[in-house]
Amino acid sequence: MKKSVFAAMSSILVLSAALAGCGGGEQAGKQGNSAESEQTSGPKILRMNMKTEPPTADPGLAEDSISGAIMRATFDGLTRIGEDGKPHESVAEKIEVSEDGLTYTFHLRDSKWSNGDPVTAKDFEFAWKRVLDPKLGSTYAYQLYYLKNAEEYNLGKAKAEDVGVKATDDKTLVVTLKNPTPFFLELTAFYTYFPVNQKVVESTQNWAGDAKTHVGNGPFKIETWEHKSKLVLVKNENYWDKDVVKLDKIDFSMVEDENTELSMFDNGDLDWAGAPISALPTDAIPALKEAGKMQTRAIAGTYLYKFNTEQPPFNNAKIRKAFAYAIDRKTIIDNVTQANQEPAMGLVPPTMAVATGPYFKDGDVETAKKLLEEGMKEEGITKLPTVTLSYNTSEAHKKIAEAIQDQWKKALGVEVKLENKEWKVFLDDLHQGKFQIARSSWTGDYNDPYTFLDLFRLKKGSNNDTNWENPKYQQLLNQSLVEKDPEKRKQILAEAEALFMDEMPAAPIYFYTHSYVKSDKVQGVVLDGLGFVDWKWADIK
């Protein structure tokens, strides 16, 4: 999924069902059937705050949780994750899969873009090849590598026409995969697979940066976008399933300070505060929990610190492991985050775990010191230089960084400089390798452990950022894609995770929960086990 600014078909393991407890789950998985709802006077408006402006409203460039939430509201894919947490037909009204699992034929329903243009199979073909075009520079291009010749085209070793996606007519899209992919219909519900209006994209350079030129095909459309101030979505009258969309408007403010956001909620100026597109102030969490106001959901996400493995001293695996082992995760959870997170002793979250136990002991200072000594000896250094830990603006990230800074000082004797950056600048610097250690996170894009392990498969052209790459690791992941036996595949993925944890290009810290407060009148907001939010079925009663 995606990077989180805070924390982004069937598989070998079953994830918990969609968390539709925020409201009506009665229509689980059903689309196209209007549900009766109470009538309220005036328009139905959901008021929320996003902690930072979405870096983009272009599904081909989106890579973070806030942009992803806006993509899911303003676009629709061939499939969509329903209220039951499973993929269902959406723009595609019928899907045919070949017996060998390599060919998918999507038959599109009649649907329109928000500007009234028809949505065609060609729009999907154009969008997918656009993401893969190296000129676009999409960090999520690798998410399409399941298609035949997709990786080759993205790496300049094949032509666009070689990629396994073809619109045979306006209503038919034929997709050919490299290998059988059991979670492919979950991928087609993910925003990197969303269509874009070819005519609009080719005629307007900054089409996705302004409300006046933005065109989507989802339940909502962008009415107002005052950058770094507010963003307003309104119901899309051209949406094919508009009869189930109950909200007239979603009004987003952009307030960075969590305490201010919570005050706005308490004063009745917001209907929702906290996750998934913002965060609750950590100091307020104990009182909110005690009062029974806070809702918490475990999600398939990992909070971690990435190491720049090409920058000393973190080019040494033993030194990276020393820093990872020295973190006392339980203390951070008990005293800083306080939202029932679970210490992460591996990369893959519990809901899709492949390991039989933890890879190391939490807060193992003794082993950390030993590894540091051995690593420094290998590098020929007698004293660690001051290292820099970067994080994006957030009270929680700051407090976590301060706690770990203190733990590393006490355990390893290292001086750590903290560096705070605005979200977009932080992301740009991360991709350009302008960091030593950087706060990061990952929430699953689909319900399979591969979504976590694949993140670190390629050194370049992905969301890796650590510059770490391992041929054996790549071999294991490739092997997992063709292994049909679920247990054997699980063992292969476990071996890959074990290799990752031995090299430690990133230090897992905790597994995510989403915590928030909301008004009782807000119903039907779908929060699923991957951390995705969908307002399609939301209502104000």
CATH for 425? 3.10.105.10
Instruction: Report the pLDDT value the prediction gives residue 530, as an integer from 0 to 100.
Output: 85
Place 15 in a pLDDT band, splitting at 50, 70 and 90: very low
Same domain membership, residue 211 and residue 97? yes
Q: Are residues 326 and 188 in the same domain?
A: no
| 192 and 334 housed in the same domain | no
**DSSP-derived secondary structure for 166-234:** EEEETTEEEEEBSS--TTHHHHTTSGGG----HHHHHH-TTGGGSTTT----SSEEEEEEETTTEEEEE
pLDDT tens-digit series, residues 384-394: 999 999 999 98
Domain ranges, residue 483:
297-514
* pLDDT per position as a tens digit, 94-132: 999 999 999 999 999 999 999 999 999 999 999 999 999
pLDDT band at 79 (very low <50, low <70, confident <90, very high): very high
* 194 shares its domain with 303: no
Average pLDDT over residues 508-530: 94
Looking at the domain assignment, is residue 253 inside a domain? no
Phi and psi angles of residue 395, each rounded to the nearest 5 degrees, phi first: -60, -45
What integer pLDDT is reported at residue 461 of this predicted model? 62
Return the percentage of the chain with pLDDT > 70, whole number: 92
pLDDT digits (tens, 9 = 90+) for 347-369: 999 989 999 899 999 999 999 99
d(CA 302, CA 427): 17
Looking at the structure, tell me whether residues 341 and 489 fall in a common domain: yes
Let me know if residue 265 belongs to a domain: no
pLDDT at 446: 84
Task: Give the three-state DSSP class for 421.
Answer: strand
What's the pLDDT tens digit per position in 270-328?
999 999 999 999 899 999 999 999 999 888 999 999 999 999 999 999 999 999 999 99
Q: Is residue 375 part of a domain?
A: yes
Say whether pLDDT at 535 is over 90: yes
pLDDT band at 424 (very low <50, low <70, confident <90, very high): confident
Torsion angle of the four alpha carbons 256, 262, 266, 270, in this order, in degrees rounded to the nearest 10: 50
Quote the pLDDT of residue 269: 97
Report the C-alpha gap between 111 and 117 in whole angstroms: 9
Structural domain includes residue 343: yes
191 and 337 within one domain? no
pLDDT score recorded for residue 98: 96
Q: What is the mean pLDDT of residues 70-94?
A: 95
Is the predicted pLDDT of residue 13 greater than 70, yes or no? Answer: no
Give the confidence band of 182 by pLDDT, cuts at 50, 70, 90: confident
Same domain membership, residue 396 and residue 508: yes
Is 208 in the same domain as 305? no
CA distance 209 to 56: 7
The answer to whether 417 and 388 are in contact (CB under 8 A) is: yes
- Least confident stretch, 53-57, 119-123, 197-201, 212-216: 53-57
Residue 37: the pLDDT is 38
Return the minimum-mean-pLDDT range out of 5-14, 169-178, 197-206, 237-246. 5-14
The span from the CA of 448 to the CA of 466, in Å, is 22
Same domain, 211 and 304: no
Instruction: Give Cα 263 to chain centroid, integer Å.
Output: 28
> What confidence tier does 41 reach under pLDDT thresholds 50, 70, 90?
low
Q: What letter does residue 68 receive in the DSSP assignment?
A: H
Look at residue 76 and tell me whether its pLDDT is greater than 70: yes
Residue at 224 is within a domain: no
Q: Is residue 92 helix, strand or coil?
A: strand
Domain boundary among 217, 250, 266: 217
Distance, in Å, from the CA atom of 435 to the CA atom of 417, rounded to the nearest integer, reads 12
DSSP 346-400: SSS-GGG---SS-SS-TT-HHHHHHHHHHHHHHHT-SSPPPEEEEEES-HHHHHH
Largest CA distance in the chain: 73
**Burial (CB count within 10 angstroms: exposed 0-12, middle 13-18, buried 19+), residue 383:** exposed
Is residue 239 a part of any domain in this protein? no
Domain stop point among 191, 217, 243: 217
Which of these three, 202, 217, 232, is where a domain ends?
217
**519/266 Cα distance (integer angstroms):** 10
Supply the pLDDT for residue 529.
83
Note whether 59 and 150 are same-domain residues: yes
> Is residue 183 located within the same domain as residue 330?
no
Rounded CA separation 459/270 (Å):
42
Of the two residues 29 and 47, the one the predictor is more confident about is 47
Give the range among 27-36, 98-107, 131-140, 482-491 with minimum mean pLDDT: 27-36
H or E stretch covering 512 = strand 506-518
Specify the number of domains making up the chain.
2
Tell me what pLDDT residue 77 has: 98
Alpha-carbon distance 215 to 58, whole Å? Answer: 10
Q: The domain spanning residue 155 has which CATH number?
A: 3.90.76.10
Do 186 and 97 share a domain, yes or no?
yes
Query: Which is more confidently placed, 186 or 463?
Result: 186
- Name the H helices within 267-316: 285-290
Domain for residue 275, yes or no? no
The rounded mean pLDDT for the chain is 91
Q: Note whether residue 242 is domain-resident.
A: no
Pairing of strands 437-443, 295-307: antiparallel
Q: What is the pTM of this model?
A: 0.78
